[in-house]
Structure 1
């Protein structure tokens, strides 16, 4: 079987962005992969400029990333390297994804499914083998309680990577076969089973909801009621009811017996209270990406465990406004294509991403931006034009 050069190209481009946790790699290997990522990024930027016009999504995503770097430079110029690397990596991977979806859809989705799936498989195996001790623990993690590390990182953080790759894999299967195959289902049941085995709370919630959707709803047209707009409304309601007003305290049975958390949600409400205090002190541009020692001193942890608070803390109202534009751009495309199976599945997957981001969020998980790019480029993904009318072409392809 002849392997397309474009498939090999996208494997070359994505491999350095989905690497094992740093503690697993030899320092020289880690440095080599970082150099590879720089090379892949430059190639991706060159190809993107040559073949595509700069999309509004890439423009506003870049502005949002810059809104994190600027306050970092203002507060501590010596800490600028890390945020700049994250910014360029996020933008580069988004360009790779957009380039792939627009011009090499099959090859890009296949590359993500093949290599990403391999990494997820290894991650799942290490979780089954090394739970509960994990493969490693960093010393500073003692301040945060027990947090075990596996092949792609600790369970909660790594799930963002695994979840995004799972979305790519399922979309690849739907795009090629028009249905979910037994192999795809069994593979991801095994991977998801590892997160259930280690009892990763947010991951288990997303996994259960994802499979319920695939089992009962993905073949049905429910997009008139359940669509990206209603999903975002639900996420905002959850944010205000739990993070802001703490209404979960009125439902202790659900919190303690269903989610197996205490009423502080494993300390998250304490972290959120501290985040609100600091956000009020610098509401416009935030604090940028601070060093680990500063974050540990402020919060006792490396991040504030909520996507909206994280955005406000790092980039202020400016960053939140830019990110809101990104969400609006995505919503416009997903609503225009609603009724198509791939479109509706992607919308639900993004809902699950924002749902688990209510209690955990990591800006440096580059693959997540690739998943968001899928949503923005939905007309290309489902094979239509930019003007796919709601209820017509989308619903026709779902039959």
Structure 2
């Protein structure tokens, strides 16, 4: 089946299920693929740094500055509440827990996260993790682990050879960064598979050039 048709079907599926963040990520991915074909200047903007900026700026804006209060009209249009389905409340509790333990708590099991953040393991079932990539990283690994993780991402960015072909993979990373605003993909294998391929592109190019 044509990849464009598959992408349209995925977006339609997310529209029907009402998954606003996923729909936005898929639409951004589709637009990125379209732009890549025609604009080299936009191509240079699709990289790991821009993906990281999306996560960091969005996390600061939503979890710390609460800018969602200024977009009530947009949430009403999307049929969503201003707490982003209770996520802003979870973020507030998560930030308090992170401040109390800056070295991190490690990977928590069922019910443990709720206990550490002041939620009920019986009634607050949705509050089973931070629902944000940056906060999840800080909650699980603390400040030292977050610094090491950032160094890992920088290493991937340095090793990545930026071409029209790799930009398609980078568009996927940017799409993931949209999803990471309201959910955590810290332990999703497919995300790291993308990073592994990107990190090996320089090596693959050198091998091809020696043939």
Name the TM-score class by shorter chain: 0.7 to 0.9
Q: 1:271 Cα deviation (Å)?
A: 0.3
Aligned to 1:173: none
Alignment of 1:366-381 (within 5 A): 366-380=189-203
8 Å CA contact 1:219, 1:341 repeated in 2: no
In structure 2, C-alpha distance between the alignment counterparts of 1:221 and 1:213, rounded to whole Å: 12
Q: In 2, are the aligned partners of 1:228 and 1:348 still within 8 Å (CA)? A: no
Q: Aligned partners of 1:196, 1:313: CA distance in 2, in Å? A: 31
Match of 1:271 in 2: 90
Q: How does 1:341-352 map to 2 (within 5 A)?
A: 341-352=164-175
C-alpha separation between the residues in 2 aligned to 1:364 and 1:272? 19
Change (3 A) 1:289 1:233: closer
Distance apart, 1:184 and its partner CA: 2.3
Instruction: Quote the RMSD (CA, aligned, Å).
Output: 2.3
Change (3 A) 1:194 1:290: same
Pick from 28, 31, 40 the counterpart of residue 209 of structure 1. Answer: 28
CA gap of 1:325–1:218, structure 2 versus 1, over 3 A, is: farther
Q: Distance in 2 between matches of 1:291 and 1:274?
A: 17
1:255-294 equivalent positions in 2, closer than 5 A: 255-257=75-77, 259-284=78-103, 286-294=104-112
Structure 1 stretch displaced more, 343-352 or 216-225: 216-225
Listed one character per residue, the Cα deviations across residues 298-325 of structure 1 (whole Å, up to 9, x for unaligned) are 3432111001111111110121011101
**Structure 2 unmatched ranges of 5 or more:** none
Work out which structure has the larger RCO, using CA pairs closer than 8 Å and 6 or more positions apart in sequence. 2
Equivalent position of 2:59 in the other structure: 239
Query: Is the counterpart of residue 323 in structure 1 residue 149 in structure 2?
Result: yes
Whole-Å separation in 2 of the counterparts to 1:195 and 1:355:
14
Q: Which of the residues 136, 146, 149 maps onto 1:310?
A: 136
- Report deviation, 1:188: 3.5
Q: Greater Rg, structure 1 or structure 2? A: 1
Mark the runs of 5 or more structure 1 residues left unpaired by the alignment. 1-181, 389-399
1:1-399 mapped onto 2 (5 Å cutoff): 183-222=2-41, 223-257=43-77, 259-284=78-103, 286-297=104-115, 298=117, 299=119, 300=124, 301-334=127-160, 337-338=161-162, 340-380=163-203, 383-385=204-206
Deviation beyond 6 Å, 4+ runs, structure 1 = none
- The number of equivalent residue pairs is 199
Q: For the Cα contact (< 8 Å) 2:166–2:198, is it kept in 1?
A: yes
After TM superposition, give the deviation of residue 250 of structure 1 in Å: 1.6
Superposed displacement of residue 226, structure 1:
4.5
Matches of 2:199 and 2:142, distance apart in 1: 24
Tell me the alpha carbon deviations over residues 138-193 of structure 1, each in whole angstroms, 9 at most, x when there is no partner: xxxxxxxxxxxxxxxxxxxxxxxxxxxxxxxxxxxxxxxxxxxx722223433443
